[in-house]
Chains A and B, each alone.
Chain A
């Protein structure tokens, strides 16, 4: 318990900036603190607003008084008779940088909460059909726009609840819903794209023209005309053997010369060889 008192007195310092308080960053924290300040010392800051920030932090109204005499200092001191100087009640005016990144949590710099009319000024969500034509970079950027917008809405909603305002909540919810729909559409598009990629990969594995090894040219198109000629030659050489057989559903080239004008048009198109 003896060690906890100095720690407790140093807890109040946590709220001060780390740069001003080297003790909190040092190692062996309890030892260092107990050496540097006596256990009954109270925290002190030259900034008056910080000095008063928690007047009764441990509900002890006798904080700082002697436990034996319940009074001030015991003996006479050299400083007796002199008025204790008090820190000036001075609060520096701080101007926020107009380009501060945290402004992105607000719709405007004047107020933290947008008016309901402003909140309802929005369009519809992006639909999947529109997003199918967008690149991954575009979709990624849009996602982050949505993510930041959601943060903005959450910040405004918290502010509205704090002020106990009713109007504007429905508008905010509708806005959030459109964002949610856009984000769903983005995921939908990307999932579709992934499935298309999977199918394409499956096809490419079967395709002899495509090399998926990752070395050399991945696509070497074959010469179809040459292939056909080769096949024709092969057929011609095997022609006498296959003459007698008749394959199922085989299309025979028309041997007899028929006058094209005598046939109806539909039949003519069917009988002509397919391209």
Chain B
């Protein structure tokens, strides 16, 4: 903190804040085209552009050239499962600062690396949970029931159906690829 204060490239604020309890989240750029000269942060709603500039300068010794801020409104939620009360959660403020020195985020983990966190079983469990949730939601909102027999037929099931049809029509003969013992043949 003190080292950066030696040479200030801009005029910083005079109000001294000793014990701030703000949490600033560094966000990975969502767009490929965002230049490395920009960094996006999720900040508390009361933050202004000067706040983030001085915060980054004093706490992280990062010099910024400009700030753009955006307040993202969030969709309404049914906050209570029984009363179905509609509430809108508080908005989220994002600030994109222009950096003096470019910064590139660490590379995204590959599929192999991701197994260090979640193994396949956990992943399958999460997927199943998500599916159940979407079924519940569909039923509650639109009244649609997602039964297994309404699901799209898998390749296995369609192959089985085809084989059964052939067997019934007599086009194919049942065979388990084993020679039957002669004692079982009808004389």
Contact = CB atoms under 8 A, between A and B. Distances in A.
B128 to A, nearest CB: 13
B13 interface: no
A18 B106 contact: no
Contact of B60 (A94, A104, A150, A187): A104
Interface string A78-95: 000000000000000011
A96 B39 CA distance: 13
Q: Is chain A's interface secondary structure helix, strand, loop, or mixed overall?
A: helix
Contact of A102 (B22, B33, B103, B117): B103
A47 to B, nearest CB: 9
Given A115-B117, A155-B25, A17 B106 contact: no
B37 A17 contact: yes
Contacts of B107: 111
B110 to A, nearest CB: 11
Interface in A94-125: 94-97, 100-102, 104-106, 108-113, 115-116
Contact of B19 (A52, A157, A187): A187
Contact of B106 (A19, A106, A164): A106
Interface string B70-114: 000000000000000000000000000011011111110100011
Given A17-B98, A94-B102, A154-B25, A113 B109 contact: yes
Given A14-B68, A111-B109, A147-B20, A49 B33 contact: yes
What is the interface residue range for chain A against chain B? 35 or more
A96 B109 contact: no
Contacts of B118: 165-167
B26 interface: yes
Contacts, number: 111
B174 interface: no
B101 to A, nearest CB: 5
B23 to A, nearest CB: 5
B158 interface: no
Interface string B1-40: 1000000000000000011111111111001011111110
Given A17-B35, A18-B98, A167 B122 contact: yes
Given A100-B101, A112-B105, A158-B27, A94 B56 contact: no
Contact of A101 (B60, B116, B117): B60
Contacts of B114: 163, 165
A168 B117 contact: yes
Contact of A96 (B19, B103, B116): B103
Given A17-B98, A102-B60, A167-B122, A111 B21 contact: no
A20 B27 CA distance: 25
A170 to B, nearest CB: 12
A168 B116 CA distance: 10
Interface in A223-237: none
Contact of A154 (B23, B103, B122): B23
B37 A97 contact: no
Interface of B: 1, 18-28, 31, 33-39, 42, 56, 59-62, 65-66, 68, 98-99, 101-107, 109, 113-114, 116-118, 122, 126
Given A53-B33, A151-B24, A155-B27, 19 more contacts: A49-B33, A53-B31, A94-B36, A96-B103, A96-B104, A102-B62, A102-B99, A102-B103, A111-B109, A113-B117, A116-B117, A150-B23, A151-B23, A151-B25, A155-B25, A163-B109, A164-B126, A166-B126, A168-B117
Q: Which 10 A-B pairs have the closest CB atoms?
A: A101-B60, A101-B62, A53-B33, A105-B26, A154-B25, A155-B26, A165-B117, A101-B61, A112-B106, A167-B117
